[in-house]
Amino acid sequence: MTPLRQRMIEDLRVRNRSEETIASYVNAIVKFAQYFHKSPELLGPEEVRTYQVYLVQRKVSWSAFNIVVCALRFLYGTTLARDWVVQKIPYAKKPKTSPVVLSVEEVCTFLEAFPNLKHRVLVMIAYGTGLRHSEILRLRVTNIDSKRMMIRVESGKGNKDRYVPLSPTLLAWLRAYWKIARPASYLFPGKNPGMPLTKASVRRAIYRARRASGISKAVTMRMMRHSFATHLLESGTNIRIIQALLGHRSLNTTAIYTTVSSTTIHSTQSPLESLADLSKPPALP
């Protein structure tokens, strides 16, 4: 490990950044350095601009682009203390898109398509609690509090802990899974001892289940979280409660689900309805 990488990791840990954030930042800087075949210490604003143009040409996603921006800003602004950072490393504007969700019937069909109990229960947690993919993979057996009917989420996004309710149905499935798998530490252990399942293995399982279910939508773990929030909103749950369950810092982030909630959409009456003369179409000749 180079001294610069070690310093950056130490700076991130001092600021209590999560291990997942540290790994993503370091990976972004490694790719940046590999692109120019030079240490980042020898690079400056012009190379940063060139690299951002390269990322745009490759059509990387908004989130991937901004992870690189965050990593570069931290490296040059904090670890290397360069004073040109803020002006020279701009963020990409987040595209305004509505989340795609599954219907309740599609959720049932999708869950039934999993032949593996571990994967089915894992995805049930995503839909039943709204937890993020990474939060579920980090769950340990001790995080399931059946007496209080709660799940403790440790070091969620922003390195914050929170609780989400544990439904009786989910608890029953978790107990059935535990009796078969007997996980000792992580709730969903992977192939490597002492490590959880990887995101890649879960994505493969989801892809196979989607094909088996016949659902045309490109189902992801994020879509299960979107469906959780949307279905709660449609059932009348207060949006601030949904905000707390999802672990959103801003209510504006949660409000995006009002754009896909069928209850919200259908409760709005079109102004056409107030025009008496247009209440009925003309009779056919």
Query: Which amino acid, one-letter code, is at 36?
Result: F
- Tokens 């990593």, located at residue: 71
Task: Look at residue 87 and tell me whether its pLDDT is greater than 80.
Answer: no
pLDDT at 285 (0 to 100): 55
Q: How confident is the model at residue 90 (pLDDT cuts 50, 70, 90)?
A: confident
The predicted model scores a pTM of: 0.67
Task: Look at residue 265 and tell me whether its pLDDT is greater than 50.
Answer: no
Are the C-beta atoms of 117 and 176 separated by less than 8 Å? Answer: yes
Domains observed in the chain: 3-88 (1.10.150.130), 104-265 (1.10.443.10)
Are the C-beta atoms of 189 and 196 separated by less than 8 Å? Answer: yes
- Report the distance separating Cα 84 and Cα 68, nearest Å: 17
pLDDT at 240 (0 to 100): 85
106-to-86, 177, 214 alpha-carbon distances in Å: 45, 23, 10
Q: Average pLDDT in the 165-178 region?
A: 92
